């Protein structure tokens, strides 16, 4: 079971000086999108264990000084969630828990969706007809992930109660998934064509998403959630933490911090190194990325640095294995919080996944000829613990995705023995605990096209 397995590895996390672990969704789910389709926000999915297993995990990590952060999905649920099935039946108070709209009809009388919006998972309309209700429902992601209607105060209250439930169970914080999708324009105006080269009309990249992303109401909702966290922290005398995911232009991303009178998230993820840094990047680009985040971040706010995650190619493959240590030096020694995707500390690269091994809906939906363009499976292979069968990840006969074939020498046990990305990462994680790195100022230097540097210091006057 996943939760028991993570609990057993607490000593490893402590050895690399982890301050908090962030678990991907563990809530009850049909697993059509690996837990990002939740059917019950207050239950643990049996695939991962039980609530008792979660409590033991929480206690084990807390006893070792490590916080526990949950991945929370506020934008949508599974279509198997009781809220949705009751909404289909127009059973009050659930009738308007989701975004339902009447059909339109073309000149020949054929039923068509309310507008031209397409879903994020690369191909197809963002509207699905429900025969029973005789309306379309909106889904920014998969068909089986209907969007919640945040214009309904009862939905807002349901999510608030869910947050409080998990805070009450000792969770230290949350990563809120895809917050920039929370609201859409009420008038359902069509989105403009992007004219993106090579994009099919049904591809997400075929449109400019000004009507479905980063709406003004979204920032207000993030502020309300921050108030909820602050109120709980004060009443229970315990700190908590709230970070949000949004792949948005930098000016929109910074708005998720809020301001002095209306604070937002503790921070929105900084995806500059994921979105902009690659094999062709030079020191100029590194300099610009760091300066742009630090200079655009509202005064008094906290930075963060993300090199990899479950939605993108691993840093060792996206850039180059020889750059991994240098990137970790920046990530762990710059001001703010470093967020490390599992096994990136080992320098592990992507795993090739054949079409008949593909499980990610983003790849499956586009078929065998384009799946490698969209599938996120290569970055999700099992953690290589040792050189035993299945890299020590499981004693089952088969893993859910293939193990990286380099596991026999690129594994945690082997890399702990000699000079490696893991040992460098461990040393950096110790270094970042000194006061100068924790709270010191930053100065960056661009020495040439290929040489970038920075210094951390504490001003004494």
> Would you place residue 201 in the very low, low, confident or very high pLDDT band (cuts 50, 70, 90)?
confident
Q: What is the pLDDT of residue 195?
A: 93
Q: Residue 39 is encoded by which pair of tokens?
A: 């059917």
| Distance (Å) of CA 400 to CA 31, 356, 380 | 13, 12, 10
Are 215 and 147 in contact by the 8 Å Cβ rule? The answer is no
Using the 8-state DSSP alphabet, how is residue 436 labeled? Answer: H
What residue has token string 């967020």?
339
For 410-449, write each residue's pLDDT tens digit. Answer: 999 999 998 999 999 999 999 999 999 999 999 999 999 9
Mean pLDDT of all residues in 212-234: 98
Q: Is 387 exposed, middle or buried (0-12, 13-18, 19+ CB in 10 A)?
A: middle
Q: Residue 414 is encoded by which pair of tokens?
A: 């082997």
Task: State yes or no: cis peptide before 237, omega within 30 of 0.
Answer: no
| Distance (Å) of CA 364 to CA 119, 373, 374 | 15, 11, 9
Q: What is the pLDDT of residue 460?
A: 75
Q: What is the pLDDT of residue 159?
A: 99
Mean pLDDT of all residues in 4-23: 97
> Would you place residue 1 in the very low, low, confident or very high pLDDT band (cuts 50, 70, 90)?
confident
Q: What is the pLDDT of residue 6?
A: 97
What residue has token string 């697993």?
31
% of the chain exceeding 70 in pLDDT:
100
For 35-71, write each residue's pLDDT tens digit. Answer: 999 999 999 999 999 999 999 999 999 999 999 999 9
Mean pLDDT (the chain, rounded): 96
Q: Is 68 helix (H, G, I), strand (E, B) or coil?
A: strand
For the question of whether the overall pTM of this predicted structure is more than 0.75, the answer is yes
Q: For residues 379 and 221, what is the distance between their CA atoms, to the nearest angstrom?
A: 32
Residues classed as catalytic = 177, 245
pLDDT value at 122 more than 80: no
Q: What is the pLDDT of residue 352?
A: 97
pLDDT value at 328 more than 80: yes
b/e for 262-275, b at 16 or more Cβ within 10 A? Answer: ebbbbbbbbbbbbe
Mean pLDDT of all residues in 296-311: 97
Are 113 and 127 in contact by the 8 Å Cβ rule? The answer is yes
Q: For residues 363 and 353, what is the distance between their CA atoms, to the nearest angstrom?
A: 11
pLDDT value at 461 more than 70: no
Q: For residues 214 and 105, what is the distance between their CA atoms, to the nearest angstrom?
A: 29
| Distance (Å) of CA 215 to CA 225, 259, 296 | 16, 17, 20
Helix or strand (DSSP H, E) at 52: helix 51-63
Q: What is the pLDDT of residue 123?
A: 76
Q: For residues 396 and 386, what is the distance between their CA atoms, to the nearest angstrom?
A: 15
Are 166 and 101 in contact by the 8 Å Cβ rule? The answer is no
Helix or strand (DSSP H, E) at 426: helix 421-431
pLDDT value at 312 more than 70: yes
Q: What is the pLDDT of residue 198?
A: 87
Q: Phi and psi (nearest 5°) for 310? A: -75, -5
Q: For residues 439 and 429, what is the distance between their CA atoms, to the nearest angstrom?
A: 15
């Amino acid at each position: 079971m996943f939760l028991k397995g993570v609990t057993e590895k607490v000593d490893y996390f402590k050895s690399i000086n982890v301050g908090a672990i962030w678990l991907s969704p563990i809530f009850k789910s049909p697993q059509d999108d690996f837990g990002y389709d939740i059917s019950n926000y207050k239950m643990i999915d049996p695939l991962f264990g039980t609530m008792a297993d979660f409590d033991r995990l929480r206690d084990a990590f807390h006893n070792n000084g490590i916080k526990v952060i949950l991945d929370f999905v506020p934008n949508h649920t599974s279509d198997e969630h009781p809220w949705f099935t009751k909404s289909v039946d127009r059973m009050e108070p659930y009738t308007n828990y989701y975004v339902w709209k009447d059909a339109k009809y073309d000149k020949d009388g054929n039923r068509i969706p309310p507008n031209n919006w397409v879903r994020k998972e690369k191909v197809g309309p963002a509207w699905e007809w429900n025969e029973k209700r005789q309306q379309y429902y909106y889904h920014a992601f998969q068909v089986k992930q209907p969007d919640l209607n945040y214009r309904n105060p009862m939905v807002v209250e349901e999510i608030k109660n869910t947050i409080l439930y998990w805070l009450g169970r000792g969770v230290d914080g949350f990563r809120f998934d895809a917050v920039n999708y929370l609201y859409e324009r009420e008038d359902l105006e069509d989105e403009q064509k992007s004219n993106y080269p090579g994009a099919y009309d049904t591809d997400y990249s075929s449109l400019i998403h000004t009507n479905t992303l980063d709406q003004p109401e979204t920032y207000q909702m993030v502020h309300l959630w921050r108030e909820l966290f602050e109120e709980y922290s004060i009443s229970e005398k315990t700190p908590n933490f709230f970070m949000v995911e949004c792949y948005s232009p930098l000016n929109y991303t910074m708005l998720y911090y809020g301001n002095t009178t209306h604070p937002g998230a503790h921070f929105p993820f900084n995806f500059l190194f994921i979105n902009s840094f690659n094999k062709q990047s030079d020191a100029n680009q590194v300099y610009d990325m760091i300066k742009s985040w630090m200079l655009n971040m509202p005064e008094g706010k906290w930075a963060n640095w993300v090199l990899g995650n479950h939605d993108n190619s691993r840093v060792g493959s996206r850039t180059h294995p020889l750059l991994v240590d240098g990137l970790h030096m920046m990530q762990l020694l710059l001001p703010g919080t470093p967020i490390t995707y599992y096994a990136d500390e080992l320098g592990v690269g992507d795993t090739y996944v054949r079409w008949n091994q593909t499980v990610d809906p983003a790849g499956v939906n586009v078929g065998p000829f384009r799946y490698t363009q969209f599938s996120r499976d290569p970055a999700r292979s099992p953690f290589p613990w040792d050189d035993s069968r299945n890299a020590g990840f499981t004693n089952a006969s088969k893993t859910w995705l293939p193990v990286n074939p380099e596991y026999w020498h690129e594994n945690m046990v082997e890399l702990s023995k000699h000079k490696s990305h893991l040992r460098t990462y461990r040393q950096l994680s110790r270094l970042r605990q000194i006061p100068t790195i924790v709270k010191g100022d930053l100065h960056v230097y661009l020495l040439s096209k290929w040489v970038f540097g920075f210094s951390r210091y504490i001003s004494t006057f």
